[in-house]
């Protein structure tokens, strides 16, 4: 079945470092891909999406490019801030479902040290 793999369980960076969180997916065709962010004590919230090959999604300084060739949708940010500390989830939209079902990765906790 469709699935998403996030290889880093936790990433620790200093402020102004460059961020990469890896996301790879397994699915047929061109599923919609998403990033969600969850701040401490809150529910996840939608960050951005991409729906076709080479499309770039972006929001709040974060970006990711849909790459069908490598089945990836890596999250990047040029300069992280302490306020970016959160858990980031990569997700894939189930194309077999009309009900908006998402398959989430296990999540990556980002810790930014001031």
Partner 1 sequence: DMKVTQMPRYLIKRMGENVLLECGQDMSHETMYWYRQDPGLGLQLIYISYDVDSNSEGDIPKGYRVSRKKREHFSLILDSAKTNQTSVYFCASSLSIGTVSSYEQYFGPGTRLTVL
Q: Which residues bind partner 1 (CB under 8 A)?
A: 9, 32, 34, 41-46, 49, 51, 89, 91, 93, 98-102, 104-107
Question: What's the min distance (Å) between Cβ of 37 and partner 1?
Answer: 11
CA distances from 80 to 24, 58, 89 (A): 22, 15, 17
Q: Which is nearer to partner 1, 9 or 114 (CB)?
A: 9
Question: What's the min distance (Å) between Cβ of 28 and partner 1?
Answer: 17
Question: What's the min distance (Å) between Cβ of 103 and partner 1?
Answer: 8
Q: Which is nearer to partner 1, 98 or 114 (CB)?
A: 98
Contacts of residue 8, Cβ cutoff 8 Å, sequence gap at least 6: 21, 22, 108
Question: What's the min distance (Å) between Cβ of 51 and partner 1?
Answer: 6
E strand residue ranges, 7-107: 10-14, 19-21, 23-26, 33-38, 45-50, 56-59, 62-65, 75-77, 86-93, 102-104
Q: Which is nearer to partner 1, 42 or 69 (CB)?
A: 42
State both tokens at 44.
């996840």
- Contact between 76 and 19 under an 8 Å Cβ cutoff? The reply is yes
Q: Which is nearer to partner 1, 13 or 102 (CB)?
A: 102
């Amino acid at each position: 079945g469709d699935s998403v793999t996030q290889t880093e369980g936790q990433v620790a960076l200093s402020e102004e470092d460059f961020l990469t969180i890896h996301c790879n997916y397994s699915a047929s065709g061109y599923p919609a891909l998403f990033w969600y962010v969850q701040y401490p004590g809150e529910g996840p919230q939608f960050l951005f999406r991409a729906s076709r090959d080479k499309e770039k999604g972006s929001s709040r300084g974060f970006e990711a490019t849909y790459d069908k060739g490598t089945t990836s949708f890596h999250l990047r940010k040029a300069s992280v801030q302490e306020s970016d500390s959160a858990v980031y989830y990569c997700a894939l939209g189930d194309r077999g479902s009309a009900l908006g079902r998402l398959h989430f990765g296990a999540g990556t906790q980002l810790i930014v040290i001031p």
